[in-house]
Amino acid sequence: MGKHDILRSTTFGKTTAEEEGADLGAYFVETDQWQRIFAGDIDVVYGAKGSGKSAIYSLLLGRTSELFDRGIIVVAAENPRGAVAFRDLVTDPPTDENEFRNLWKLYFLVLVAHALRDYGIVSGRVKQIIEPLEEARLLPRDASLRGYLRSARDYVRRLVRGEAVALESTLEVDPFVSVPSGITARIRFKEPDPLEAARGWISVDHLLELANAALEESGFSIWLALDRLDVAFAESSDLERNALRTLFRAYLDLRQFTQISLKIFLRTDLWKSIIRGGFREASHITRQITISWDEASLLNLVIRRALHNDQLQAFYRVDLQSILSDTSKQTDVFYRIFPIKINARHPLRTFDWILQHTRDGSRNTAPRELVHLFSSARDVQLRRLEIGHPLPQGEQLFDRASLIGAMPEVSKVRFEQTLCAEFPDLRDTMQKLEGEKPVHTLESLALVWAVDQPIATRLAERLVEVGFFQLLGTRRAPRYSVPFLYRSALKMAAE
């Protein structure tokens, strides 16, 4: 096959795990971080947008059979794609943190009970869990996650607000305990006293204890996996903060149970927003990891995706496993496919130039931008060949112009669909820098934004926090640089 045909048949994959499908497993690098997560040693996975959290979440759900053989039942507590289960909470949220914490715990109890029933785990303890939940209409058969959550929310609301929870259309209220008589079981959030217990009241914590004992008896454990929390509550920052703070409090409540674990996948900036105003419980969250990528692992990712194409492997006459086992061979293959340098007069080699142009203000490159750049470069290169530009030199499939030409789209998408979408309150502030130079002092920023210097300082610090600015200089004389990643989108002048 000629270079044009090879390019047409080549793909670097999709930019999101939801779009990758079955190919994700072939691309994925089973790092030490992944092994620790898969072994069950990690409960909380932090990472920047596009760092690969959802890829790990998807792979975890894709390995349910293997995990089941180890006695682990994996339950998705949020839909891995499509509509989020928590969307109803945006329009009708819990009234306070206590109500939210109770909602999380009841929702997780319902998911555990559903799994016990669905997997046919039968015992006296399981019956004690299922019956009160079914009587309270919290465990409908064939319900969606959204349906389970709605039922739990409505139940919590009725209890918290002191409304009677009638399981039948007409019930007499017992004046001694102020609950409808004739009910054999009732679920609440504090432990019932002996009289209430005799009347059939039972706490959520006790039901979780029963579930934990039933799982231990059967030789199973349950992992409740949560991702897409950035999407679930994105429309309200206050709701998002309350939801996540109470989620972690519920997580700590569940840590006492040996057979029930939460697996939470969360953006790093959202975690920072939780602890910004103080969060004493943070020191107790120890089973955590932050996804990180260095230059070697990013190069490995690119080569895996490139050599996933059989035609490209055949063209370069390389063996995939042999290349992936040797970092020096990965570098050699990269520079057979791509030019050595983008600018002959600049010391940076091409891969270093790519990392420089795809990192944000935190100096980190996310795999998502890297994949987007190579996918866009492939499209640019094909267009160049189709209108008559010469083939790249030697063995190379890409020339310098294709990589340079791919950057504007990557910059635009990252700025508009990630940065502005995630931080809409900063959109106008960032866009006021359009057409300006990329490096500023506090004085120049105050002029551009037409604000006094203290306000400019607060805005600049916030933009450093979200990765739009890279902080240069000293604390007394700071300078703020817009990374190359965002310069094209803002049509910035040269330094």
Sequential DSSP letters for 120-156: T---HHHHHHHHHHHHTT---TT--HHHHHHHHHHHH
Whether the predicted pLDDT of 322 surpasses 90: yes
178 φ/ψ angles, rounded to the nearest 5 degrees: 55, 40
| H-type alpha helices, 199-344 | 204-218, 229-232, 237-254, 268-275, 295-307, 310-316, 320-324, 327-337
In a domain, 228, yes or no: yes
Residues 309 and 275 in one domain: no
- pLDDT at position 162 is 58
Do the Cβ atoms of 482 and 433 come closer than 8 Å? yes
d(CA 73, CA 119): 9
68 φ/ψ angles, rounded to the nearest 5 degrees: -60, -35
List the strands of the sheet with 260-267, edge to edge.
72-76, 221-226, 260-267, 44-47, 288-290
- pLDDT at position 169 is 31
- pLDDT at position 449 is 97
- pLDDT at position 17 is 60
> Of 398, 380, 408, 383, whose CA–CA distance to 334 is shortest?
398
Residues 88 and 176 in one domain: yes
Task: Determine the average pLDDT of the residues in 441-469.
Answer: 95
d(CA 163, CA 161): 6
Task: Determine the average pLDDT of the residues in 421-429.
Answer: 92
- pLDDT at position 332 is 97
In a domain, 36, yes or no: no
Do the Cβ atoms of 17 and 24 come closer than 8 Å? yes
pLDDT, one tens digit per residue, over 114-172 is 999 999 998 889 999 999 998 888 988 777 888 888 888 888 887 766 544 433 333 44
Whether the predicted pLDDT of 181 surpasses 60: no
pLDDT, one tens digit per residue, over 265-283 is 998 888 888 887 788 888 8
Whether the predicted pLDDT of 436 surpasses 70: yes
Strands (E), 54-198: 72-76, 173-174, 179-180, 186-188
In a domain, 33, yes or no: no
> What confidence tier does 21 reach under pLDDT thresholds 50, 70, 90?
low
In a domain, 8, yes or no: no
The residue segments making up the domain with residue 69 are: 43-286
> Of 392, 353, 363, 358, whose CA–CA distance to 373 is shortest?
358
Residues 241 and 101 in one domain: yes
In a domain, 64, yes or no: yes
Structure tokens at 76: 């998705």
Q: What is the average pLDDT score of the chain? A: 87
Quick one: what percent of the chain has pLDDT higher than 70?
91
Residues 354 and 492 in one domain: no
Chain Cα centroid distance, residue 288: 14
In a domain, 479, yes or no: yes
pLDDT, one tens digit per residue, over 336-351 is 999 999 988 888 999 9
Residues 102 and 137 in one domain: yes
pLDDT, one tens digit per residue, over 198-227 is 777 889 999 999 999 999 999 999 999 999
In a domain, 26, yes or no: no
Residues 101 and 182 in one domain: yes
Q: What does each C-alpha distance from 116 to 75, 77, 125, 215, 281 come to in angstroms?
A: 11, 15, 11, 8, 30
Residues 100 and 203 in one domain: yes
Residues 152 and 208 in one domain: yes
> What confidence tier does 38 reach under pLDDT thresholds 50, 70, 90?
very high
Residues 103 and 225 in one domain: yes
Task: Determine the average pLDDT of the residues in 428-447.
Answer: 96
Structure tokens at 210: 């029963």
Structure tokens at 436: 């300006």
CATH number for the domain that contains residue 479: 1.10.10.10
Domain boundary among 388, 422, 456: 422
Residues 147 and 182 in one domain: yes
Domain boundary among 422, 444, 467: 422
Task: Determine the average pLDDT of the residues in 32-54.
Answer: 90
Q: For the chain, what is the domain count? A: 3
Structure tokens at 394: 């030697």
Residues 154 and 219 in one domain: yes
More confident residue, 143 or 376: 376
Task: State the amino acid at position 157 in one-letter form.
Answer: R
In a domain, 68, yes or no: yes
Whether the predicted pLDDT of 413 surpasses 60: yes
Whether the predicted pLDDT of 434 surpasses 90: yes
Domain boundary among 263, 286, 309: 286
- pLDDT at position 76 is 92
pLDDT, one tens digit per residue, over 56-73 is 888 888 899 999 999 999
Residues 332 and 382 in one domain: yes
> Of 321, 209, 226, whose CA–CA distance to 270 is shortest?
226
